[in-house]
Amino acid sequence: MKKINSSLPGPNDIHREVLENGVTILTRSNFNSPSVVISGYFDAGALFDTDEKLGLADYVTSGLMRGTKKHNFDEIYNILESAGASLGFSTGVHKSGFNGRSLAEDLPLILGLLAETMIQPMFPKAEMEKLRAQILTGMAISAEDTSDMASETFDKILYKDHPYSRPDEGTPETIKKITRDDLVKFHREHYGPRGMVIAVVGAVKAEEAVRQVKRALGGWQVKGQKETLEIPEAKLLKRTVRKHHKIAGKSQSDIVVGTNGPRRRDAEFMAASLGNNILGQFGMMGRIGDSVREKAGLAYYAYSSLNAGIGPGSWEVSAGISPTNVDKAINLIVDELKRFVAKGVTAEELSDSKANFIGRLPLSLESNGGVAGALLNIERHDLGFDYYLRYADLVNEVTREDVLRTARKFFDSDKLAIAVAGP
């Protein structure tokens, strides 16, 4: 992987332009490699699904490359393969996204395919039935996966009566109900240029990247494109709620223990991130890994994660354990959370964590894909073009008191969501 240059992306080398139809373009040039990456998102996430047709947004994005007005499924992939290029779509709660890469000389080709699959998908019946079978097979596998089911059960506890409690991919019952007319209608109502953001990073000048995107997507107009949905606040737990999702015949149980967390834009985000690193990420998975896995020998894995996005976030601890050790592991995790909230972190832990955060930033920006992700992060959360230039200062400003205050704001050992999946 070749380095971009030593400088972090900033106002001097990030170019932003908004086309007349609403498409936002972000570009940064890197001529150290002959390739180019395109990455972006658009307003057609799972939030728009109804309960009856849950998984519709995901079904639509998965079907975009199954055939268009110009090319069938095989032709689309042959075009990509012959150029050594790639293109794919994914679905999130708020937004759906895309990622592609090619040689810089093939940027027109990959942008042309992006436009074609987004604007002119045909959802051919035979291909969509094959896709439906694949989705249902994936769900059957997931239903037997203790990690997947623990995570899904956790979301149902933490986000009760909230859109985040629903699985993005739907359920077997809802997927079976979706018709081709549903796919066409969802595409017609939600796919459009407004709210679309595309980052182009690699061996192309900013003005040329904008010209190419404009050529591919500048003429896209959609009347009546649905507005973005506002996400409600999540109701906080009033007591600890524990649920067990039974899967017979398993030799492992998975547990998720956690609570609400900050949004990405919240003032506490950086303190929570550094605290989470110490709690269950850094080294051998932080304090959680040390306590539950290394010392007690109870877990195959144990770590913590902070999920902070546009809407209400979560802060959770996950572990894979023997079914006979479920209660012991949960008690150890809760004890670690109590210690985290009572005493906070040490000066040495915080110093090591800060060095880790600052040291790994340049590594995350060594690839064109990493930079594209960074540009989208800036745009989605309105962080400012100088965010990565200010990053070290933002990290170093966090004090032990900030981490303790943040931990106490979110963690209450009497109000936790505890999900278990296994025999």
Between CA 168 and CA 153 the distance in angstroms is 14
Q: Are 379 and 310 in contact (CB under 8 A)?
A: no
DSSP letter for 393, please: H
Q: Is the model's pLDDT at 324 over the cut of 80?
A: yes
Residues 308 and 417 reside in one and the same domain: yes
Residues 254 and 373 reside in one and the same domain: yes
What pLDDT digit, counting tens, does each position of 241-267 carry? Answer: 999 999 999 999 999 999 999 999 999
Between CA 231 and CA 381 the distance in angstroms is 15
Residues 207 and 317 reside in one and the same domain: no
Q: Is residue 3 part of a domain?
A: no
Domain count, the chain: 2
Residues 127 and 262 reside in one and the same domain: no
Provide the angle, in degrees to the nearest 10, between the axes of the packed helices 269-280 and 387-396.
60
Residues 142 and 261 reside in one and the same domain: no
* Residue at 197: amino acid letter: V
Residues 415 and 383 reside in one and the same domain: yes
Residues 48 and 149 reside in one and the same domain: yes
What pLDDT digit, counting tens, does each position of 353-386 carry? Answer: 999 999 999 999 999 999 999 999 999 999 999 9
Query: In this predicted structure, what is the pLDDT of residue 6?
Result: 53
Q: Is residue 408 part of a domain?
A: yes
Residue range of the domain that includes 31: 15-217
* Residue at 13: amino acid letter: D
Residues 389 and 272 reside in one and the same domain: yes
Q: Are 43 and 217 in contact (CB under 8 A)?
A: no
Residues 174 and 282 reside in one and the same domain: no
Distances (CA, A) of 330 to 29, 33, 323: 49, 48, 12
Whole-angstrom distance between the N-terminal and C-terminal Cα of the chain? Answer: 44
Mean pLDDT of 15-42: 97
Q: Is the model's pLDDT at 230 over the cut of 90?
A: no
What pLDDT digit, counting tens, does each position of 89-114 carry? Answer: 999 999 999 999 999 999 999 999 99
Q: Is residue 251 part of a domain?
A: yes
- CATH code, domain carrying 160: 3.30.830.10
Q: Is the model's pLDDT at 199 over the cut of 50?
A: yes
